Structure 1
């Protein structure tokens, strides 16, 4: 092949183009293409780097090669990959071939993606240079950035993926293609998931699970990921709203994670066996280790000298799941108890008393738990939820009703009275709703009921 290429140097510039193309065509039309990569290397290297060939010849040869690769002239996957990589290596030393280089990079990314070499495929796309009309350029950039993000997330390289996601976000208005925008929204949810912004990720996944354009099985999988993220989110009112939305979704009952979803929504305490079963469904980034700050370690060691030998010696959660379960169980205990000792809470959460107090203090400070801490008596007092108060006067559609509360002088009696009022108001609301739907049948006067 080298001898044949050398003979082309004596041809006129006009004849060189057809001669190079003919030589390339002969090479690609052979029955046995095992030696084709080496011959194509010689042809491309000569057309691009030989001064006698010129820019026109180089572009024509590269354009024809790209066209043949795209049309499947080289059937064997490994041979095609070898030709593309070799050609790109030659073009690294040459300029003025951006269009052909971009086409080859797209080809290489496709080949590497088929091999599940996610990171290498992403890096192939990162080398693409953009040049052309602004509107078309922005749309192309957006598509390429989204594809890079998807590939990097498959490799679980969330840090670099977020960099390219931010670039894509600034170009999200450049296209109206539904498929591309759906991919962008999915990347948005996955970035939040990998960044451990589980509450935000759960909301985004749940929204996507309703998109009709997505395959039904894929929507079911997205819904399951939404439940997983909601379970891992920090306990508190915001998570409770997301859990309520997922729990009321009829499709959730078919998910394998429905049991833990229902327990969290109903504020039931989670048991180790249930947590272990759920843990097996998590991905590596959702089981990330978390470090305990030096301040928390110091605070959790306060009562070490008073510890029962059989008590837990853990000073804090070790994983994201661990923390989510402990915070949930703490919140659930606030629905059961009026108060609890540090030691009792530590036994419930499998923590030292000091670590249990630290967790409760943080949740109270952040507004995710209502209560106060008595460090003298070593008690945590839980306060009743006040959110329902506004709804008490609206049962049965009566609108705002002035409520008069008798001062009994006892906080526990007040709380009991409030629970009775809430139950009565909820019953009245249900009856009114049934009446509005004409689902109640009047009972004749004097009729006997069994």
Structure 2
């Protein structure tokens, strides 16, 4: 091999390229994988690192080799992978002169690694591609495709931190393409990034939107719908989640999902039992089972009111949720209890949520502060009062704010609202009696002196 390479090197510049290229099929025809690898290494090393060969000839030979590898001249995937990796390592010292060939080889290597499900390794190979080279003509649309592919590969290995970096780069270029496939892949990356970032409401909406896209395979659309339900269940309880749950509950396809039971119970504001939660927990991915920590302020607030109940054996010792799912279920059960009770004690709520009374109060307080729960807290009586969503009384806005008031049926509203209604009814009755007495002449009003 070395003697033939030396002979070809002595040829004229015009004949060198075809002569070296003629060696490629000869080397590939060798049956022994180690012989093929060694022969190609010797050839590439000679044409790339020998200054007498010239850059033009080197590019011709490498381009031919890259094309042959891309056409599947080596059927054994493992051998092809070894050849590509060895060629990249050989070219590395002079990578600036052979950027185009190196980039194509990196794409080929990434394809091979992706088939082997080496997601992170494939992503790292793509990260090494020079996308800003003057030799590349794809522009922003090609950059976007590469970035989206890197994000997808990183998310397969749940490396959401690095994936978000490349997602942000892709977001700046998404306007540069009209390719439907690329845009759908980008939207899927959006949903998954929101999912990994615990922005579950946002992720649920995006997954649900993608589940309607006809270009996506039916099985994948079902997986997206399942992911939408999962994220909606994990989202913080409140009006926004209720709207997403309603949208999913009305989707007739969700009735066929294994998570439909917990979806329907959450939508209908039923309290979730531990057995149902454990069954749902088995369907979650590792990042959806992440542990969460309690802030020092919440921990202090959670233990502040527990001294009175410390000697009671039935009182829970938990001071807060431990996982994302744990928090979502507790907040949902708290919201569901507000539909059942007018009020509840700290101790009773703690028993319902399997928390200390102080931790139950802290959770309710935070939800009230964030507008996700309508109610108030009486710390003297250690009670949480829940407010209904009734429309304001029709009498409001009439003359004197009273008008024709009739005593309303007791609908189970909190005592404070019922008390206000009783005052309004009493005032209206007094006004009616005075008007009746005045008409009979039984009551006269003195005119104030000027």
* TM-score, normalised by the number of residues in structure 1: 0.86
Counterpart of 1:250? Answer: 252
Q: What root-mean-square deviation, in Å, do the aligned CA atoms of Structure 1 and Structure 2 show?
A: 2.4
Counterpart of 1:67? Answer: 67
Q: 1:363 to 1:45 in 2, by over 3 A?
A: same
Cα deviation for residue 303 of structure 1 reads 2.8
Q: Does 1:380 align with 2:380?
A: no
Q: 1:62 to 1:134 in 2, by over 3 A?
A: closer
From 190, 193, 205, the counterpart of 2:207: 205
Is this contact kept in 1: 2:211–2:224, CA < 8 A? Answer: yes
**What CA distance in whole angstroms lies between the structure 2 residues aligned with 1:134 and 1:80?**
25
Query: What pairs up with 1:17-416 in 2 under 5 angstroms?
Result: 17-94=17-94, 95-130=96-131, 131-132=133-134, 136-306=138-308, 307=310, 308-386=312-390, 406=405, 408=407
Is this contact kept in 1: 2:368–2:375, CA < 8 A? Answer: yes
**What CA distance in whole angstroms lies between the structure 1 residues aligned with 2:47 and 2:143?**
30
Q: 1:182 to 1:35 in 2, by over 3 A?
A: same
Counterpart of 1:398? Answer: none
Is this contact kept in 2: 1:326–1:349, CA < 8 A? Answer: yes
Q: 1:133 to 1:107 in 2, by over 3 A?
A: closer
**What CA distance in whole angstroms lies between the structure 2 residues aligned with 1:236 and 1:134?**
50
- Of 227-236 and 404-413, deviating more is 404-413
Is this contact kept in 1: 2:385–2:414, CA < 8 A? Answer: no
**What CA distance in whole angstroms lies between the structure 2 residues aligned with 1:405 and 1:26?**
103
- Of 134-143 and 149-158, deviating more is 134-143
Aligned residues: 408
Counterpart of 1:435? Answer: none
Cα deviation for residue 6 of structure 1 reads 3.2
Cα deviation for residue 17 of structure 1 reads 1.2
Q: What secondary structure sits across from 2:377 in the alignment?
A: strand
Cα deviation for residue 32 of structure 1 reads 4.0
**What CA distance in whole angstroms lies between the structure 2 residues aligned with 1:37 and 1:148?**
29
Deviations 1:211-258 (A, max 9, x none): 111111211111011000000000000000000000001111111100
Q: Which runs of 5+ in 1 are unaligned?
A: 394-402, 419-450
- Of 213-222 and 1-10, deviating more is 1-10
Deviations 1:142-196 (A, max 9, x none): 0000000000000100011111111111111111111111111111100100000
Is this contact kept in 2: 1:297–1:315, CA < 8 A? Answer: yes
Q: 1:405 to 1:62 in 2, by over 3 A?
A: farther
**What CA distance in whole angstroms lies between the structure 1 residues aligned with 2:247 and 2:221?**
16
**What CA distance in whole angstroms lies between the structure 1 residues aligned with 2:181 and 2:302?**
51
**What CA distance in whole angstroms lies between the structure 1 residues aligned with 2:4 and 2:316?**
81
Counterpart of 1:438? Answer: none
Q: What secondary structure sits across from 2:168 in the alignment?
A: helix
Q: What secondary structure sits across from 2:97 in the alignment?
A: coil
Q: 1:404 to 1:3 in 2, by over 3 A?
A: farther
Q: What secondary structure sits across from 2:74 in the alignment?
A: coil
Cα deviation for residue 105 of structure 1 reads 0.4
**What CA distance in whole angstroms lies between the structure 2 residues aligned with 1:62 and 1:214?**
38
Q: 1:414 to 1:326 in 2, by over 3 A?
A: closer
Is this contact kept in 1: 2:100–2:136, CA < 8 A? Answer: no
Q: Which runs of 5+ in 2 are unaligned?
A: 396-401, 418-450
